C-alpha cells in the first residue's frame, strides 16, 4: 500500500523549477519556461531564463519542503515583455512550470496580433424627442434626406489599443443604436416589441 498524502489540493500542473533547471546542461540558460497558471490568457506568457543561481537542498525533503532555485528571467506576460529581468525564487517550489522544447519555442512565443477591435462610428442618431425638435425647428427645409447626426465624443485614451474612430465616409464596424439594443437576457423581454 502506498503512502497516502492528505492535504489541500492545488490546480498546479507541471514540475518545480529546480526539477526542470537541474535536468538541463548549463542549468537551462537561454531556454524558455512557461507556467501552467498563465495559460488561461489567450496571449502567450513565458519566461526566458537568463541566469541561474542554485540554492542548497533542504535538509529534510518533504512534499512541503522542496528545493528552490534562484532564476533571473526575462518575463513576457500576455504578449508584453517586461523591460527589466525579474528574479524568481520564492515561487520556484511551485510545481507549475514546464519547459518548452527548442523546436516549439517559436510557435509558442508568437504573438498573434489580434485584428483591430473595430472602427467606431463618428456620429450617431439623435435621441428621439430631440430629433423631433430639431426636425421641427428645421421644419422649413423638409425633404432633406440628410437628417442631423450627433457627433460622438470618445475617451481617446481608452481607444489606443484596438479601436479607432471612423474617418469621413468610412463604414464603422461597430454600430451604436439609440434603441435598447439586443438584451442580455431575452426571456425578460418576451412579448415586448423592442426598437433595435
Smallest gap from residue 35 Cβ to another protein (A): 13
- As a whole number of Å, the end-to-end CA separation of the chain is 67
How open is the CA angle 167-173-176, to the nearest 5 degrees? 95
Instruction: Looking at residues 48 to 77 of the shown chain, list those that interact with another protein (rule: CB under 8 A).
Output: 52-57, 62-64
Contact partners, residue 140, CB within 8 Å, separation at least 6: none
Three-state secondary structure call for residue 83: coil
Considering the rule CB under 8 A, would residue 24 count as an interface residue with another protein? yes
Q: In terms of CB distance, is 38 or 124 closer to another protein?
A: 38
Q: Which of 60, 90, 103, 188 binds another protein (CB under 8 A)?
A: 103
Q: Name the residue with cell 519542503.
A: 65
CB 170 within 8 A of CB 119: yes
Smallest gap from residue 98 Cβ to another protein (A): 6
Considering the rule CB under 8 A, would residue 90 count as an interface residue with another protein? no
How many Å apart are CA 99 and CA 46, to the nearest integer? 10
Beta pairing, strands 69-77 & 32-35: unpaired
Q: In terms of CB distance, is 56 or 139 closer to another protein?
A: 56
Q: In terms of CB distance, is 32 or 120 closer to another protein?
A: 32
Q: Which of 5, 113, 136, 167 binds another protein (CB under 8 A)?
A: 5
Smallest gap from residue 1 Cβ to another protein (A): 4
Listed residue (15, 11, 164, 176) closest to 93, CA to CA: 15
> How many residues bind to another protein according to rule CB under 8 A?
39
Q: Tell me which residues touch another protein (CB under 8 A).
A: 1-15, 18-20, 22-27, 52-57, 62-64, 95, 98-99, 101-103
Amino acid at each position: 500500500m502506498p503512502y497516502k498524502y492528505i492535504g489541500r489540493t492545488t490546480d498546479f500542473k507541471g514540475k518545480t523549477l529546480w526539477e526542470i533547471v537541474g535536468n538541463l546542461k548549463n542549468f537551462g540558460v537561454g531556454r524558455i519556461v512557461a507556467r501552467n497558471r498563465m495559460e488561461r490568457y489567450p496571449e502567450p506568457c513565458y519566461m526566458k531564463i537568463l541566469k541561474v543561481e542554485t540554492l542548497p537542498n533542504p535538509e529534510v525533503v518533504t512534499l512541503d519542503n522542496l528545493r528552490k532555485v534562484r532564476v533571473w528571467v526575462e518575463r513576457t506576460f500576455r504578449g508584453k515583455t517586461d523591460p527589466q529581468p525579474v528574479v524568481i525564487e520564492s515561487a520556484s517550489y511551485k510545481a507549475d512550470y514546464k519547459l518548452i522544447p527548442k523546436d516549439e519555442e517559436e510557435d509558442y512565443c508568437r504573438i498573434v496580433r489580434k485584428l483591430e477591435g473595430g472602427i467606431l462610428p463618428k456620429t450617431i442618431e439623435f435621441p428621439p424627442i430631440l430629433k423631433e425638435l430639431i426636425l421641427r425647428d428645421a421644419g422649413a427645409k423638409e425633404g432633406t434626406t440628410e437628417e442631423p447626426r450627433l457627433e460622438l465624443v470618445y475617451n481617446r485614451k481608452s481607444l489606443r489599443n484596438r479601436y479607432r474612430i471612423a474617418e469621413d465616409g468610412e463604414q464603422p464596424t461597430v454600430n451604436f443604436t439609440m434603441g435598447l439594443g439586443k438584451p442580455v437576457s431575452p426571456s425578460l423581454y418576451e412579448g415586448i416589441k423592442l426598437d433595435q
